[in-house]
Structure 1
Amino acid sequence: MAPNPAAQTAFGPMVLAAVEHHEAAGRRLVDDDLAESFLPARLRTLVRLTRFGPLRAAVIAASERAGPGLWASIACRKRFIDDKVSDPAAEIDTVVILGSGLDTRPYRIARYSDLPVYELDQAVNIERKTAAVQRALGDIPASVHLAGVDFEHDDVMTVLADNGFRDTGRSLFIWEGVTQYLTPQALHGTFEQLRAVVPGSRLVFTYVRQDFIDGTNLHGAEAVYRKFRRRRQVWKSGMEPESVEEILRGYGWRVIEQAGPSYYRDLYIRPTGRKISASPIEWTALAIKD
């Protein structure tokens, strides 16, 4: 059992990705054929049941009632990040995943490439991830390196260096579904640590809107606010889309793209023909180190 609520959130996005994989290829918002195998037995059983279309629709509908738009937002942010990893124009030498949870991305990469991937997360999640990979795949690929980190106290660049990371200036840092769980001090402290990376490196990260964190605009997601802000202060930090560029510039990064609900609607949702919308409370940003 994980010692804190944030560690437990590793399961939800992977259940979503696994359920999405049961959609027909043209209807999937994200394509992850390893997601189910990384889940614990009880969740694998649940996911297998969603091969039955009506039950899958009921699971998605239940998610929509609990957090309108979050199903599509999480699926689409994963698709967006996968697109950045596979973009040939990026010429990536190394991938660094900050707060990797049960993310299968390193192991999908390892199928066709020896691209080095560094996974950093809380020690409890690294232990859980190691066990999941060994159960599903038999062993950790040589190109994947896992290390424990505490974003509230540790220096990310020191942890990476201690585990063999060398920044070439063509590294892609992925920080997905993490920033809202950190205190503002840890969030900005990590941005400060990432100031040290070589120009040319890229950073893709997600964030929750500050007005939602403050409770001034719940964007129709009252149940989500009660769960993550009122009952327990699980989500601690936010940003506003209009201020992200200025904040990142202060740490030596230049924002080159932001993805929110309209972006996801036009690029990912409409082509599937599905009647689903993305939530406005979570956004994804892509930046390059100047």
Structure 2
Amino acid sequence: MALFRALETVRCPTSARLFGDRFARGFLRPSLRAVVGLSRLPVVGRLVPWYIDRRWPGARSSGIARTRLIDDVVREALREEIEQVVILGAGFDCRAYRIAGIERCRVFEVDHPATQAVKTARLRRLLGDLPAHVVFVPLDFARRTLDRAMDAAGFETATRTFCVWEGVTNYLSEEAVDATLRYFATTAPGSRLLF
């Protein structure tokens, strides 16, 4: 997804872009950063998405559309003064750093410890210090339940929460999905879960 978000961020004309993610390129290996750079050229800029769409039909376009939809719904939740945001399976998602106003919330990024180690190292290179409003919650869904990890991280179930669970459930066991849904059912009235 970081590649797709980076490509969308440099798409021309700018008026055609569904969103911008200035961090996405920083999560790519050098060869993919080069592809993003080349995609700014007029002909290559059309060939790169065409190749991706031929090779993996629907992956890029649905990922880009999904990103825009979720961004819009997160912004709506922020206008409704949601107090906490949880991003399950956060991966290289950078909503906590790029959506205006989200810094007023506590944002819990939940992901596998190995993925979080890579992400935090890259964020330090991109940002310097990690933002104080983000709490990293290391969790392997196959080995530990969400409730214990969130309690240890200071998550408050009595506080209105918006949870993003993007593109993760198909990789989890039925038991892990059920346990996660049961846990979020205990959050404050007005909380929302988007997946």
What TM-score do the two structures reach when normalised by structure 1?
A: 0.62
Contact kept? 2:105, 2:133, Cα under 8 Å: yes
**Residue 94 in 1 paired to residue 84 in 2?**
yes
Contact kept? 2:160, 2:187, Cα under 8 Å: no
**Residue 22 in 1 paired to residue 14 in 2?**
no
| CA drift at 1:146 | 0.7
* Structure with the higher helix share, 1 or 2: 2
Cα shift readout 1:264-288 (whole Å, capped 9, x = no counterpart): xxxxxxxxxxxxxxxxxxxxxxxxx
Could you list the runs of 5+ residues in structure 2 that have no partner in the other structure?
none
Cα shift readout 1:110-140 (whole Å, capped 9, x = no counterpart): 7773321110100111001101100111121
**How far apart are the structure 2 equivalents of 1:138 and 1:110?**
19
Aligned residues: 193
Cα shift readout 1:83-127 (whole Å, capped 9, x = no counterpart): 111115532111110000011111114777332111010011100
Match of 1:202 among 182, 192, 195: 192
**Residue 39 in 1 paired to residue 28 in 2?**
yes
Paired residue secondary structure (2:193): strand
Tell me which moved more, 21-30 or 110-119: 110-119
**How far apart are the structure 1 equivalents of 2:117 and 2:81?**
31
Could you list the runs of 5+ residues in structure 1 that have no partner in the other structure?
1-12, 206-290
Task: Indicate how the Cα distance of structure 1 residues 179 and 53 shifts in structure 2: closer, same or farther if over 3 A, else same.
Answer: farther
Contact kept? 2:157, 2:186, Cα under 8 Å: no
Cα shift readout 1:166-212 (whole Å, capped 9, x = no counterpart): 1344210011111111122322232222222222110011xxxxxxx
**How far apart are the structure 2 equivalents of 1:176 and 1:112?**
18
| Corresponding letter in the other structure for 1:54 | V
Paired residue secondary structure (2:104): coil
Report what 1:117 is aligned to: 107
Report what 2:74 is aligned to: 85
Identical pairs, percent: 37
Paired residue secondary structure (2:22): coil
**How far apart are the structure 2 equivalents of 1:14 and 1:140?**
19
Please provide the CA RMSD for this pair: 1.9
Report what 1:62 is aligned to: 51
| CA drift at 1:147 | 1.7
**How far apart are the structure 2 equivalents of 1:106 and 1:41?**
24
**Residue 192 in 1 paired to residue 176 in 2?**
no
